Structure 1
């Protein structure tokens, strides 16, 4: 899938704020207020239930963030959006810096070892306190490989669809 066709999970609606339809949100943008620069949002309340929203506004509120969606003017309307994931189109995001990658760009890459042993494809990634972890699946097996460039991840070639890792195929 091309970058233009991919979606990136950038936040989540987590609660209500006040009585005028404002919502508490989590933002995974850096800096977190940048989430409002990437619009329209595609809100996913449940699998297969998606709504495109343009014109969301927001602000920081205490240690968190709040947002108001267009046309959502009271607490009852807002309550329907709690738990919705906030996605944006991948092509709305700025290009990553040299040597950095959006997770969505790594998903689906073929993963081979430095000895040309095919390990599978990148299923997804997740964060730990120390580093990100690449989940590689080959249909029968799942491997968790630390995404540490230079040590375990030797190269990433997005145009070729390949990641080379220094990893024991038996591990």
Structure 2
């Protein structure tokens, strides 16, 4: 059996009450669509979590899962990153990308000089930010927009970034 090509889709956040409910951070376009996949997998591609109930509360998913009967059990899985096999997802549309496709790409400036490497893509509520580790110096964030990232070449595993606004 081959190891699946995993896509990071959710993460266990904090407990919600004492009865085993917890907040689930979903990184899907539609947060509830994560519920369509079961079981959710761990980073090794092994079954990790089966959600049995879910509701929305103040913009967050509150869920209950098999084998998580109380707050103590939630505390044991807090921070668990959850994945699905890429083969279960549709192909992204033009100008859409899975974060896992961007991580590790080389970043070049508009003049063609290598700038660094994409380490992650984060979203703290104001849009997607590309975390770039430059060839020298500390990492920096760049808003993932058409202006700042005019080119993404999935086949060559490289992006072009416009650093003139930094």
TM range, smaller chain: 0.7 to 0.9
Distance 1:108 1:18, change over 3 A: same
Give the match for residue 110 of structure 1: 106
Deviation of 1:85 (Å): 2.5
- Tell me which stretches of 4 or more aligned residues in structure 1 moved more than 4 Å: none
Distance 1:76 1:137, change over 3 A: closer
1:60 paired with 2:60, answer: no
Supply the RMSD in Å over aligned alpha carbons.
2.9
**What are the equivalent positions in structure 2 for 1:2-151 lying under 5 Å apart?**
4-19=4-19, 21-42=20-41, 52-63=47-58, 64-81=60-77, 83-91=78-86, 92-127=88-123, 130-141=126-137, 142-149=139-146, 151=147
TM-score for both structures, normalised by structure 1? 0.73
TM-score for both structures, normalised by structure 2? 0.75
Report Cα offsets for 1:66-100 as digits up to 9, x if no partner.
Answer: 3222233445444433x233411350333222101
Q: Which structure 1 segments of 5+ residues have no match?
A: none
Distance 1:77 1:122, change over 3 A: closer
Distance 1:140 1:69, change over 3 A: same
- Larger radius of gyration between Structure 1 and Structure 2: 1
Deviation of 1:58 (Å): 1.9
Q: Quick one: distance in 2 between partners of 1:16 and 1:51?
A: 26
